[in-house]
């Protein structure tokens, strides 16, 4: 039986791996429009600096990703201990993000009133809506100050999103379930800590885990999958449309070639999938088109270490919207993982744009560098010119799960389930991270193999 997978990002590649691992006899073809596979997983080695053009790692708290890496013969690399320390730029200076209740209440990131308002969370009634924006949830449970100084920068750091429009339920499902189950996040945290003492495992309301990558960057993961899949993967092969012929599917490529198979998986970004199916199912195309991808740019700057006064003893910093800066945040990449900068140098990686300032992302490269340097001057007192510059522009960045995302997923599922042998997957739907994509691929592989393309 033949199965065609459209899209050679981590979702499509890991799906192919899981399918072949279980049934090596499957005839699988993967079509990727770009000359390189991997999507937003893109590593460059330039002038001795190792730059991640997009994804810089995954958390080690989800087993499927680590298991896949080990099966591929890779050695995962946990981030440096110093990277556990994270900063928020607020009120004109950097504040360490508190990691414990004691450090939280001794921190001046929030005012005394802001800290006491968080304590009041235990008395706030459970939300009545099935879903609400992240901003509405945070203000309701934690107060405006905690929203502006903690939750807003967290949202931009994970999703490059705007909390005023993001679906809380779909972006942070674990916290959503904790409120539904316990009525209070503080009550949930107390219960989780009791469970942690019993089980010996560290648990909490957040995702947990340690940021993990590889010594030579995230693209090592993609290369290993490419090597394993061999000639099944066809890069530089853009699928322009899909059609159905009897019980089979036909995919049409931009070079006028066509391929037929009993099953087809669409694992491309929602905006590309929308174009692909517009003649196949107009309603599906319109729903997919509703998922936005605001632009984002990644600006990598390398400096001689002695040009920077800041200790760089952490992960980096995020900037709340209320601070009015033109950067979402900056990661101190050479402090997070080894092998990111030559000896005596450091590498800083800043994000510009996203949902809350999309107009800034696609400016002239010189202007982008100037904006980032202005922020680094204010935040880290860096006044020297960078010794190295590399910029990655993503016209379509991270998919946004807006309020109503659940309704879109239900509508997509209903349409796709009407076509035997057709599937849709990727980070546009149920999780934007590498872990989410791999776990979803694993579950989809089981479904495909168990249902014989049904």
Q: In what helix (H) or strand (E) does residue 11 lie, and over which residues does it extend?
A: helix 10-22
299 and 386 fall within a common domain: yes
Contact 369, 299 (CB under 8 A): yes
State how far the Cα of 9 lies from the Cα of 426, in Å rounded to an integer. 8
State how far the Cα of 315 lies from the Cα of 343, in Å rounded to an integer. 19
257 and 317 fall within a common domain: no
In a domain, 411, yes or no: yes
Coil, helix or strand at residue 28: strand
State how far the Cα of 351 lies from the Cα of 329, in Å rounded to an integer. 6
Task: Say which CATH number the domain at 142 has.
Answer: 1.10.3110.10
385 and 406 fall within a common domain: no
In a domain, 344, yes or no: yes
In a domain, 101, yes or no: no
Sheet bearing 239-245, strands edge to edge: 239-245, 248-253, 258-261
Contact 352, 328 (CB under 8 A): yes
Number of domains in the chain: 3
Contact 31, 6 (CB under 8 A): yes
In a domain, 439, yes or no: yes
**What DSSP designation does 8 have?**
-
283 and 315 fall within a common domain: no
Contact 271, 400 (CB under 8 A): no
Distant-in-sequence, close-in-space partners of 377: CB < 8 Å, separation ≥ 6: 383
What backbone phi and psi angles, to 5 degrees, belong to 76?
A: -60, 150
304 and 386 fall within a common domain: yes
Q: In what helix (H) or strand (E) does residue 142 lie, and over which residues does it extend?
A: helix 134-142
pLDDT tens for each residue of the chain, 454 residues long: 899 999 999 999 999 999 999 999 999 999 999 999 999 999 999 999 999 999 999 999 999 999 999 999 999 999 999 888 999 999 999 999 887 777 777 888 999 999 999 999 999 999 888 999 999 999 999 999 999 999 999 999 999 999 999 999 999 999 999 999 999 999 998 888 887 676 555 554 455 689 999 999 999 999 999 999 999 999 999 999 999 999 999 999 999 999 999 999 999 999 999 999 999 999 999 999 999 999 999 999 999 999 999 899 999 999 999 999 999 999 999 999 999 999 999 999 999 999 999 999 999 999 999 999 999 999 999 999 999 999 999 999 999 999 999 999 999 999 999 999 999 999 999 999 999 999 999 999 999 998 766 5
| The last residue of a domain, from among 199, 231, 259 | 199
In a domain, 442, yes or no: yes
335 and 283 fall within a common domain: no
378 and 303 fall within a common domain: yes
315 and 174 fall within a common domain: no
Coil, helix or strand at residue 33: coil
In a domain, 276, yes or no: yes
Q: In what helix (H) or strand (E) does residue 96 lie, and over which residues does it extend?
A: strand 93-96
Closest CA relative to residue 2, chosen from 239, 251, 201? 251
What backbone phi and psi angles, to 5 degrees, belong to 250?
A: -120, 130
Give the torsion through C-alpha atoms of 217, 224, 158, 409, to 10 deg: 170
| The last residue of a domain, from among 394, 421, 442 | 394
268 and 341 fall within a common domain: no
Task: Say which CATH number the domain at 263 has.
Answer: 3.50.50.60
Q: Which range of residues forms the domain containing residue 425?
A: 2-38+220-292+401-451
252 and 135 fall within a common domain: no
Furthest C-alpha separation in the chain: 68
State how far the Cα of 371 lies from the Cα of 68, in Å rounded to an integer. 39
275 and 413 fall within a common domain: yes
274 and 406 fall within a common domain: yes
Give how far Cα 82 sits from Cα of 130, 154, 335, 408, 432, Å.
Answer: 39, 19, 7, 41, 26
């Amino acid at each position: 039986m033949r199965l065609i997978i459209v899209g050679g990002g981590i979702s499509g590649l890991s799906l192919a791996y899981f399918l072949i691992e279980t049934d090596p006899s499957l005839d699988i073809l993967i079509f990727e429009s770009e000359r390189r596979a991997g999507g937003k997983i893109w590593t460059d080695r330039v002038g001795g600096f190792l730059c991640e053009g997009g994804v810089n790692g995954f958390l080690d708290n989800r087993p499927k990703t680590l298991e896949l890496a080990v099966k591929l013969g890779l050695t995962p690399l946990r981030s440096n201990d110093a990277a556990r320390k994270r900063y928020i730029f607020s009120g004109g200076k950097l504040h360490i993000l508190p990691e414990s209740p004691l450090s939280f209440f001794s921190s001046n990131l929030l005012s005394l009133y802001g800290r006491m308002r968080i304590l009041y969370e235990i008395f706030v009634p459970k939300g009545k809506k099935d879903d609400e924006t992240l901003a509405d949830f945070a203000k309701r449970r934690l107060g405006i100050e905690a929203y502006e100084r903690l939750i807003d920068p967290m949202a931009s750091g994970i999703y490059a999103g705007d909390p005023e429009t993001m679906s809380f339920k779909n972006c942070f499902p674990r916290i959503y379930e904790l409120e539904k189950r316990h009525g209070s996040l503080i009550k949930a945290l107390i219960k989780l800590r009791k469970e942690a003492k019993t089980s010996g495992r560290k648990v909490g309301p957040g995702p947990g885990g340690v940021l993990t990558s590889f010594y030579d960057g995230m693209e090592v993961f993609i290369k290993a999958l490419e090597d394993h899949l061999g000639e099944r993967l066809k890069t530089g092969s853009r699928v322009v449309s899909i059609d159905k012929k009897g019980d089979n599917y036909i995919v049409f490529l931009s070079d006028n070639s066509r391929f037929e198979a009993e099953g087809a998986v669409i694992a491309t970004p929602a905006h590309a999938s929308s174009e692909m199916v517009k003649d196949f199912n107009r309603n599906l195309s319109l729903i997919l088109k509703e998922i936005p991808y605001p632009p984002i740019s990644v600006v990598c700057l390398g400096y001689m270490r002695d040009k920077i006064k800041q200790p760089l003893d952490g992960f980096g910093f995020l900037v709340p919207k209320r601070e009015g800066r033109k950067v979402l945040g900056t990661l101190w990449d050479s402090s997070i993982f080894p092998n990111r900068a030559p000896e005596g140098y450091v590498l800083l990686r800043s994000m510009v744009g996203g949902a809350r300032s999309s107009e800034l992302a696609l400016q002239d490269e010189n202007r982008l560098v100037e904006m980032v340097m202005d922020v680094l001057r204010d935040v880290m007192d860096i006044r020297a010119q960078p010794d190295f510059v590399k910029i990655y522009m993503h016209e379509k960045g991270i998919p946004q799960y807006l309020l109503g995302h659940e309704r879109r997923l239900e509508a997509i599922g209903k349409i796709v389930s009407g076509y035997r042998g057709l599937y849709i997957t990727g980070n546009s739907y149920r999780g934007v991270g590498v872990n989410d994509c791999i776990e979803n691929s694993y579950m989809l592989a089981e479904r495909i193999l168990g249902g014989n393309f049904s």
